[in-house]
Amino acid sequence: MNATLKHTPFYDLHKEHNARFAPFAGWEMPIQYQPGAIAEHKHVRAHLGVFDTSHMGRFELRGKEVTQFLDYAVSSDILSLSENTSRYGLLCREDGGIIDDVFVYRLEDHFLVVVNASNREKDYRHLDALRKGFEVELLDRSAETVMLAIQGPEAIPFLDAVASAPLSEIPRFGAAQRTLDRVEVVVGRTGYTGEDGAELFFGSESALHVWNYLFGEAETRAVDLQPIGLAARDSLRFEPGFPLYGHELSEDISPIAARLKWACEFDRNFVGRDALLKRVESGEPRRLASVVMHDRGVPREGCTVHSSADGSQIGVVVTGMYAPTVDAYAANVYLDNAFNKVGTMLEIDIRGKRKAAELVKRPLYTPSYR
């Protein structure tokens, strides 16, 4: 493994759990553990799992004009965001391309913005350039904090039992301060799996203590808490239709094409707003869609999508995999609008052979908290 890859403070604990590692966005991260990715996926859907997401970026913003600044920088409405709540949004270029998708938490005395690991430095430069003219302080807290996600139908009952106060009192997309065995933790009732759960933010110096406390409490209470790798995290987010930057999202893709118009509040000014309004009016030639394979084959990123009628290329796969919950091989594709209708039969070129697929209604899996 490349010695220049970074490690989260949980790295040695992952090794103790027999993790298989791989490079991801400059980090050496656990891809899967002993049971394997499919077993981990099913465990989260049925019980609960813990994800080390400390590789993601965490920015702290504060200052007299921080709310106005974020309302301009992010596509969603931040002005109306009440204290101790969060909102999903996008950082866009002036031409409407997506720089990143982010979660914004409004806490008691500052904002926390969580960004993708691969975009942390780019996002920081973007926000730093935008804040000129605003009274805003921007701090990258990624190195001095860590992040764990605990997800699954048993996650909140377990956390209720081990935290200083119940997490079930926090509404979905809410945030609060809690204590885990004397460690102050910011809790977001958020996640990336389609299951209920929480994301925990706390100081790096307490990483091992909190991890051991959680697993110790789980053992005492006969709760089957398992560490979950990035492979299962990918399939868990894929089924409920959550995008992954670099696949469904990029600077060459607009929120309109990515079916994220709902994350853009057009009755206010934000970076990229005018360009996106023009795209709404003119229409995008291709939009995101989901397909399920009829023939045997694994659709991979970059596979071309073709018309069943004349064989012409009409799209491209951006994510493809086995979806364990629906027991099917499936893909997210960007598809010409003329063919973007549920029930349309298509062909995907997999290693030079055309395989039949059907366009299906999104998402493949309805999030449990709905």
Q: CA 156, 161, 164, 169: dihedral to nearest 10 degrees? A: 40
Residues 116 and 85 in one domain: yes
In a domain, 280, yes or no: no
Residues 197 and 298 in one domain: no
Q: Is 231 left (phi over 0), alpha (psi -120 to 50) or beta?
A: alpha
In a domain, 244, yes or no: no
For residue 370, the model assigns a pLDDT of: 75
For residue 3, the model assigns a pLDDT of: 67
Residue 174 DSSP class: B
Domain-terminating residue out of 94, 124, 140? 140
CA 83 to chain centroid, in Å, comes to: 22
Residues 44 and 164 in one domain: yes
Residues 41 and 71 in one domain: no
- Collapsing DSSP to helix, strand or coil, 159 comes out as helix
Q: Which of 345, 242, 250, 249 is closest to 291 using CA atoms?
A: 345
Residues 167 and 23 in one domain: yes
DSSP assignment string, 132-183: TTS--EEEE-TTTEEEEEEESTTHHHHHHHHSSS-STTSPTTBEEEEEETTE
Rounded to a whole number of angstroms, the CA Rg of the chain reads 21
Tokens for 99?
A: 């720089």
Distance of alpha carbon 58 from alpha carbon 104, whole angstroms: 10
Q: pLDDT digit of tens for each residue in the chain (370 aa)?
A: 556 999 999 999 999 999 999 999 999 999 999 999 999 999 999 999 999 999 999 999 999 999 999 999 999 999 999 999 999 999 999 999 999 999 999 999 999 999 999 999 999 999 999 999 999 999 999 999 999 999 999 999 999 999 999 999 999 999 999 999 999 999 999 999 999 999 999 999 999 999 999 999 999 999 999 999 999 999 999 999 999 999 999 999 999 999 999 999 999 999 999 999 999 999 999 999 999 999 999 999 999 999 999 999 999 999 999 999 999 999 999 999 999 999 999 999 999 999 999 999 999 999 998 7
pTM beyond 0.95, yes or no: yes
CA-based torsion, 162, 192, 37, 364: positive or negative: positive
In a domain, 46, yes or no: yes
Residues 63 and 136 in one domain: yes
In a domain, 328, yes or no: yes
For residue 369, the model assigns a pLDDT of: 82
In a domain, 233, yes or no: yes
Domain-terminating residue out of 238, 265, 299? 238
Distance of alpha carbon 309 from alpha carbon 3, whole angstroms: 51
Kindly report the number of other CB atoms within 10 A of residue 80's CB atom: 12
Residues 168 and 226 in one domain: yes
In the chain, the number of structural domains is: 3
Residues 311 and 334 in one domain: yes
Q: What is each CA distance from 200 to 126, 242, 364, in whole angstroms?
A: 26, 20, 27
Residues 127 and 172 in one domain: no
Residues 302 and 206 in one domain: no
Domain that holds residue 94: 57-140
Distance of alpha carbon 120 from alpha carbon 127, whole angstroms: 11
Residues 168 and 116 in one domain: no
Kindly report the CATH number assigned to the domain that includes residue 341: 2.40.30.110
In a domain, 121, yes or no: yes
Distance of alpha carbon 270 from alpha carbon 43, whole angstroms: 40
Distance of alpha carbon 220 from alpha carbon 353, whole angstroms: 53
In a domain, 64, yes or no: yes
Kindly report the CATH number assigned to the domain that includes residue 24: 3.30.1360.120
Cβ-in-10-Å burial (0-12, 13-18, 19+) of 86 comes to: buried
Residues 118 and 167 in one domain: no
